[in-house]
Amino acid sequence: MRADPLLVETVERMFAENLAPEDLAEAHGSGGVRFMELALEMGLDAVLVPQEQGGYGGGWPDAFVIAEACGRYAAPGALPETMIRRGLGHGAEDAAAGASPLPMPAGALLRSAQMAGAAQGLVERTAAYCSERTQFGRPIAKFQAVQQQMAELAGYAACMQAASQQAFAAVQKHGMPESGENPAWLAVAIAKCRCSELVHPVTRIAHGVHGAIGFTEEMGLQHFSLPLWRWRAEYGRDADWAEAIGRRAIAAGPSATWAALTR
C-alpha cells in the first residue's frame, strides 16, 4: 500500500505555506497553536481513523507522510502523537490531551519517521547554505571536501527514510506489534535503532558545514538538531534496540539466524 498522492500533495502544500524557514521562530514561539489548529481543521490527526468513524480512512504509509513532514519542516506541536493515538483507538479529546506516552512500538515507529524527516530537513537547509555561502570567490558547494560531506549527509538521511518507510509498511501489513512474534516488530526495531544511531553523524556534518554560524538562533538549525538529539533516546536508544535485535538472533540459533533477522 502506498500513501495517497492527494494527501501527499496536500500535506506538502500546507506545511510549505505555514512553516517556511523564516516563519519557524514565530511558529515555535507561539507553541505551535495556530499550526495545530490548522492541522486539526484539515483532519490530519484523523488520517488513521476509519471513514465510518469520521476519519480519513488512510493507512500507515499515509501516517508516515505526516510524521516525516513534521520532522522535515520542524513543525511545532503534537500533531504526530495525536495522530498515532487516534490511530490506536483514542478519542479526539483524549488523543489531543496526550497525558501518557505512546506504547513502546508505536512511539519508536513514530520517532523513526520524525528523525528521518528532521535529517532530510537538515540536508535541505545545509545544501541551501552551501549554495549561498561563498569563500575564495565561489560557493562552498563547489569545493570537493564540502561535496563529500554533503554526499555523506544525504546518504545517511536516505538510509533513515528507507528504514522508517519499511517499518511503516510492515505495520500496515502485520499490524502494530505488541511482541516480537509480530513480523513488524523487527522492522520497527531496526528503524528506531538505525535512525537513532545516525543522529550523531547527521547533526555533526550539518553543523560542521555551517561552522560557528550554525549555532546561532538566526540559522534555525536548532529546530532540527535539538529534537533529533531528544528523539534518539525516546522510546529506546539505539543500543537498547540493537541489544533486543541481537538477543533475537541469538535465540534463533545458528541455523535460523538469517531467517530470524530477515523474515
pLDDT digits (tens, 9 = 90+) for 72-114: 999 999 999 999 999 998 766 665 655 578 999 999 999 999 9
Give the pLDDT score at 113: 99
Query: Rounded to two decimals, what is the model's pTM?
Result: 0.95
Q: CA angle at residue 247 from 119 to 179, to 5 degrees?
A: 75
Q: What is the pLDDT of residues 222-247, one digit of tens each?
A: 999 999 999 999 999 999 999 999 99
Which cell goes with 44?
A: 490530519
139: which strand partners?
134
How does residue 130 score in pLDDT terms, banded at 50, 70 and 90? very high
Helix, strand, or coil (residue 138)? strand
Helical spans, DSSP H, in 133-252: 144-174, 184-210, 222-231, 238-252
Which of the four pLDDT bands, split at 50, 70 and 90, describes residue 48? very high
Question: In sequence order, what E strands does 105-152 have?
Answer: 134-135, 138-139
